[in-house]
């Protein structure tokens, strides 16, 4: 009787402890987001950590900053959003398509130098992208690609292929060869088997890869800042940076944070839609290394 | 419906030879079982027939068509994998229909042109295959929602609907538990009788091979040792390896010598003596006897050797006895020789551990092998004649 009761207490204590820890971690992770949201709703021109900001009352809440962000920026918010979606969307699409083929080749084909190639790609992905900005600039300007859509889409998709290619490869490694071979015996060509069997089986990892390939360009500042000069090609990341240089934006944290909130909405929506796949991809990737 | 011919097929992976010069003619409608231990190259042969693996040398014919350069999809064979390899993202129905959806067949009105199967045709075929295998009620389920036995049927149904030239099956029963397995075996045999198509079935289970095959092709280290009917393989094994691999419980082997004795010759392995006739090979020889050809009796008879029962394994309908020949039938007598272990299969519950018995061999059925394991055809046992 006694040991059992003791065990029950131990289990309860463990549960409480794990909840406390998890709630703490959650609060830690969510606080900045909360802070950004309340700041964006405050009237203060300069935010400070005051009770006034942290615990807003209905009388101090205002959506004025959102109005300014959405209607009174130049170039206007819709242009920035459109540009960002063009850059991120096409980079994600191109990067994802190439990553699927890369993963397929690296996982299911035996060719000389395959291992070396995989290590090479892993090595490349260790370099921070910022290092490449200057060489890319010279390369792309000699090709006349500076300040064009294509000029950014190319490096963005290339970045996505490097990372997602390996991701897809690892996932495809976990799909038994039998299944593809069954399709070949069933009368499919290798290409048909790829599109009709392997790709559907890879949806989880492709969802994750698409998400990552989308977020990268969406939040990129370094490359866009160097490559884009015309206002009409500005992305959201460049827009938020330039709020500071406008008259009404100088030091106005309400504006900056409101911008940040609106900017994050598409990602939240994206995540909600693909959540099922993304989580599947993350855990599978984690388990299989 | 077509036969399959393998002509001097070899397959080398980097350093090791998985298949070594195998020639095999499988007749139209025949059920051939490829039997061998793990790693003997069974799957490799099947994969070469299917076109999933390319042989290093040799030729494969389907019917009289040389198919060496054919892609798997152009060979029109069906394969059932050990893992079943069902498409996890598709329902059982879609798994079965999958091959039909991509397949093109000649048009009735104009055989020069190809067409796809219509929806209705596919539906009819899938449902009748499902019916035949008793999975009609679970066609909407995904593979993950099916039991092992049901998955195996889906895999079979997927093979059947395509009406292939031949069926290739790679240990399709090995993932089933013992009870379902013997049922599945019977069903498979029935299916073959009904379809009258060529089946090539791979297994390492000799019981399975014996019950299923019209002929067994026995492999060891990539070499084809023998291809014969189950009876023939059992009674006339090509060599000692086949003799020991086929038949359960395993054959009993005695390593001894052939010596001149009087006017004839005798195989000697103390305390066993077996008279030999034919063209004897002098020197070291191995005699093989099926355990059910080892006679165990309570009372002594001429040529019987005293022995003691050291172990009993209940096989169900019979018992396997572990015996020590030469062990004195009474514990008080001191042994003169190290005891010789032998096994025998007898009626259940006739003997118990510790019993003193007398053992003799049904010498008509004994087989002789030389030191390399090759069977000595010209030698046989001189029974009671001498
Ligand atoms: N792709 C491959 N690369 C290298 N060696 C291989 C490959 N496939 C098979 N082998 C080798 O060839 C030999 C025969 O393999 P195979 O799979 O045909 O054996 P098996 O008789 O089917 O065995 P099991 O009963 O275990 O399935 C083995 O030694 C195996 O290691
Ligand atoms: Mg195998």
Are the beta carbons of B366 and B307 closer than 8 angstroms? no
Q: Give the closest of A178, A196, A201 to B81, CB-based.
A: A178
Number of domains in chain A: 2
| Structure tokens given for B11 | 């397959």
Q: Does residue A76 sit in the same domain as residue A141?
A: yes
B158 — contact with chain A (CB < 8 Å)? yes
- Rounded CA-CA distance A278/A269 in Å is 13
Residue B130: CATH number of its domain: 3.40.50.300
Q: Does residue A73 sit in the same domain as residue A61?
A: no
Q: Does residue A19 sit in the same domain as residue A146?
A: no
* Residue of B52, B49, B50, B56 lying closest to B18 (CA atoms): B56
Domain boundary among A18, A50, A66: A66
* Residue of B191, B292, B294 lying closest to B247 (CA atoms): B292
Residue A54: which domain range?
2-66
CB half-sphere exposure, A220, CA atoms < 13 A:
32
pTM of the model: 0.82
Q: Does residue A34 sit in the same domain as residue A78?
A: no
Cβ separation A185–B103 shorter than 8 A = no
Query: Could you tell me if the CB of B328 is within 6 A of ligand 1?
Result: no
Q: Does residue A182 sit in the same domain as residue A214?
A: yes
Q: Does residue B131 sit in the same domain as residue B257?
A: no
B126 — contact with chain A (CB < 8 Å)? no
Q: Does residue B288 sit in the same domain as residue B145?
A: no
Query: Could you tell me if the CB of B130 is within 6 A of ligand 1?
Result: no
Residue B295: CATH number of its domain: 2.40.50.140
Query: Could you tell me if the CB of B22 is within 6 A of ligand 1?
Result: no
Query: Could you tell me if the CB of B308 is within 6 A of ligand 1?
Result: no
Chain B nearest CA to A193, separation (Å) = 11
Chain B nearest CA to A183, separation (Å) = 8
Chain B nearest CA to A178, separation (Å) = 5
Q: Does residue A76 sit in the same domain as residue A30?
A: no
Ligand nearest to the CA of B44: 1
Q: Does residue A161 sit in the same domain as residue A189?
A: yes
Q: Does residue B221 sit in the same domain as residue B353?
A: no
Chain A residue numbers touching B77 (CB-CB < 8 A): 185
Q: Which whole-number Å values give the CA distances from A58 to A52, A113, B16, B384, in the listed order?
A: 11, 65, 79, 114
pLDDT band at A20 (very low <50, low <70, confident <90, very high): very high
Q: Does residue B165 sit in the same domain as residue B201?
A: yes
- Rounded CA-CA distance B54/B86 in Å is 24
* pLDDT greater than 70 at residue A250: no
Query: Could you tell me if the CB of B11 is within 6 A of ligand 1?
Result: no
Cβ separation B72–A182 shorter than 8 A = no
Q: Does residue B282 sit in the same domain as residue B210?
A: no
**Quick one: which H or E segment has residue B169?**
strand B166-170
Q: Looking at chain A from residue 199 to 258, which residues have their Cβ under 8 Å from any Cβ of chain B? A: 200-201
In chain B, which residue's Cα lies nearest the Cα of A179?
Answer: B85
Cβ separation A186–B77 shorter than 8 A = no
In chain B, which residue's Cα lies nearest the Cα of A203?
Answer: B89
Residue B143: which domain range?
4-245
* Residue of B334, B322, B337 lying closest to B269 (CA atoms): B337
For chain A, percent of residues with pLDDT exceeding 90: 35
In the prediction, which pLDDT does B159 show? 92
Q: Looking at chain B from residue 32 to 71, which residues have their Cβ under 8 Å from any Cβ of chain A? A: 50-52, 71
Q: Does residue B229 sit in the same domain as residue B298?
A: no
Q: Does residue B370 sit in the same domain as residue B241?
A: no
If phi > 0 it is left, if psi is from -120 to 50 it is alpha, else beta; for residue B303 that is left
Query: Could you tell me if the CB of B18 is within 6 A of ligand 1?
Result: yes
Backbone angles phi, psi at A15, to 5 degrees: -65, -45
Q: Does residue B310 sit in the same domain as residue B241?
A: no
Which residues is B274 bridged to in the sheet? B267
Q: Does residue A74 sit in the same domain as residue A52?
A: no
Tokens 């500071």 belong to which residue?
Answer: A244
Q: Does residue B287 sit in the same domain as residue B149?
A: no
Domain boundary among A17, A42, A66: A66
Q: Does residue A60 sit in the same domain as residue A147?
A: no
In chain B, which residue's Cα lies nearest the Cα of A178?
Answer: B85
Domain boundary among B184, B211, B245: B245
Domain boundary among A24, A41, A66: A66
Are the beta carbons of B44 and B53 closer than 8 angstroms? yes
In the prediction, which pLDDT does B386 show? 32
The DSSP line for B278-299 is ESPPPEEEEEEE-GGGEEEESS
| CA-CA-CA-CA dihedral for A88, A94, A97, A101, to nearest 10 | -130
In terms of C-beta density within 10 A (0-12 exposed, 13-18 middle, 19 or more buried), how is residue A204 classed?
A: buried
**Quick one: which H or E segment has residue B296?**
strand B294-297
* Residue of B73, B51, B75 lying closest to B63 (CA atoms): B75
- Rounded CA-CA distance B30/B38 in Å is 24
Q: Does residue A217 sit in the same domain as residue A160?
A: yes
B162 — contact with chain A (CB < 8 Å)? yes
Strands B166-170 and B114-116: unpaired
In the prediction, which pLDDT does A257 show? 85
Q: Does residue A104 sit in the same domain as residue A133?
A: yes
Number of domains in chain B: 2
Ligand 1 binding pocket mutation candidate from B12, B37, B43, B206 (most atoms within 8 A of CB): B43
Cβ separation A186–B158 shorter than 8 A = yes
Q: Give the closest of B77, B83, B88 to A185, CB-based.
A: B77
**Quick one: which H or E segment has residue B93?**
helix B92-102
Residue A212: CATH number of its domain: 1.10.3720.10
Q: Does residue A261 sit in the same domain as residue A159?
A: yes
Q: Does residue B142 sit in the same domain as residue B198?
A: yes
Q: Does residue B147 sit in the same domain as residue B232?
A: yes
Q: Does residue B264 sit in the same domain as residue B186?
A: no
ipTM of this predicted structure: 0.83
Domain boundary among B245, B270, B293: B245
Each residue's pLDDT, cut to its tens digit, for chain B (386 residues) gives 589 999 999 999 988 999 999 999 999 999 999 999 999 999 999 999 999 999 999 999 999 999 999 999 999 999 999 889 999 989 999 999 999 998 888 888 888 888 888 899 999 999 999 988 888 899 999 998 898 889 999 999 999 998 899 999 999 988 888 888 888 899 899 999 998 999 999 999 999 999 999 999 999 999 999 999 999 999 889 999 999 999 889 999 988 888 887 777 788 887 788 877 766 677 788 999 999 999 899 888 877 888 889 999 998 889 999 998 875 555 555 556 677 888 999 998 889 998 889 988 876 778 889 888 888 866 655 443 33
């Amino acid at each position: 009787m006694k040991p059992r009761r003791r065990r029950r207490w131990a289990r309860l204590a463990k549960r409480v402890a794990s909840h406390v820890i998890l709630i703490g971690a959650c609060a830690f992770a969510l606080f900045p987001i909360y802070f950004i949201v309340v700041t964006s709703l405050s009237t203060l021109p300069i935010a400070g950590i005051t009770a006034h900001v942290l615990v807003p009352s209905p009388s101090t809440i205002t959506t004025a900053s959102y109005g300014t962000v959405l209607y009174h920026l130049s170039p206007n918010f819709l242009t920035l959003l459109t540009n960002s979606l063009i850059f991120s969307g096409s980079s994600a699409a191109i990067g994802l398509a190439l990553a699927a083929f890369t993963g397929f080749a690296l996982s299911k084909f035996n060719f000389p130098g395959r291992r070396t190639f995989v290590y090479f790609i892993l090595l490349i992905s260790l370099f921070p992208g910022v290092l490449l900005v200057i060489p890319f600039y010279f390369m792309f300007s000699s090709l006349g690609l500076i300040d064009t859509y294509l000029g950014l889409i190319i490096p963005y998709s290339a970045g996505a292929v490097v990372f997602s290619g390996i991701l897809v490869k690892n996932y495809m490694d976990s799909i038994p060869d039998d299944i593809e071979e069954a399709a070949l015996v069933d009368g499919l060509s290798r290409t048909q088997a790829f599109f009709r069997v392997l790709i559907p089986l890879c949806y989880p990892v492709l969802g994750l890869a698409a998400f990552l390939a989308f977020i990268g360009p969406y939040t990129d500042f370094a490359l866009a800042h160097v490559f884009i000069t015309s206002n009409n090609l500005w992305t959201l990341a460049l827009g938020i940076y330039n709020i500071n240089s406008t008259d009404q934006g100088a030091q106005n944290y309400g504006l900056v944070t409101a911008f940040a909130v609106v900017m994050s909405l598409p990602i939240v929506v994206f995540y909600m839609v693909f959540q099922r796949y993304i989580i599947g991809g993350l855990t599978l990737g984690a388990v299989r290394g | 419906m077509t036969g399959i011919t393998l002509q001097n097929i070899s397959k080398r992976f980097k350093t090791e030879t998985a298949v070594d010069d195998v020639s095999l003619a499988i007749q139209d409608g025949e059920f051939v079982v490829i039997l061998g231990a793990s790693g003997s190259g069974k799957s490799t042969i099947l994969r070469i027939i299917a076109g999933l693996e390319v042989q290093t040398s040799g030729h494969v014919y389907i019917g009289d068509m040389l198919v060496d350069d054919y892609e798997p999809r152009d060979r029109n064979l069906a394969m059932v994998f050990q893992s079943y390899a069902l498409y996890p993202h598709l329902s059982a129905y879609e798994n079965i229909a999958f091959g039909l959806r991509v397949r093109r067949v000649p048009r009735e009105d104009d055989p020069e042109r190809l067409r796809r199967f219509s929806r209705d045709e596919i539906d009819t075929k899938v449902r009748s295959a499902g019916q035949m295998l008793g999975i009609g009620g679970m066609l909407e389920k995904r593979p993950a929602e099916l039991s092992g036995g049901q998955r195996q049927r889906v895999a079979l149904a997927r093979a059947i609907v395509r009406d292939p030239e031949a069926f290739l099956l790679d240990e399709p029963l090995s993932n089933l538990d013992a009870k379902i397995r013997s049922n599945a075996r019977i069903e498979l045999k029935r299916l073959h009788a009904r379809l009258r198509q060529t089946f090539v079935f791979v297994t390492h289970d000799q019981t399975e091979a014996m019950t299923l095959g019209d002929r067994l092709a026995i492999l060891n280290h990539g070499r084809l040792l023998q291809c014969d009917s189950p009876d023939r393989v059992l009674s006339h094994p090509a060599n000692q390896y086949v003799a020991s691999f086929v038949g359960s419980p395993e054959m009993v082997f005695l390593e001894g010598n052939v010596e001149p004795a009087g006017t004839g010759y005798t195989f000697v392995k103390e305390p066993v003596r077996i008279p030999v006739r034919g063209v004897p090979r002098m020197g070291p020889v191995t005699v093989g006897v099926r355990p059910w050809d080892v006679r165990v009796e309570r009372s002594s008879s001429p040529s019987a050797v005293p022995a003691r029962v050291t172990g009993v394994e209940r096989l169900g309908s019979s018992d396997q006895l572990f015996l020590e020949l030469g062990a004195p039938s009474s514990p008080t007598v001191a042994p003169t020789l190290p005891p010789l272990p032998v096994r025998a299969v007898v009626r259940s519950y006739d003997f118990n551990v510790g019993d003193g018995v007398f053992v003799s061999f049904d010498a008509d059925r004994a087989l002789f092998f030389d030191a390399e394991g090759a069977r000595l055809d010209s030698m046989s046992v001189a029974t009671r004649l001498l």
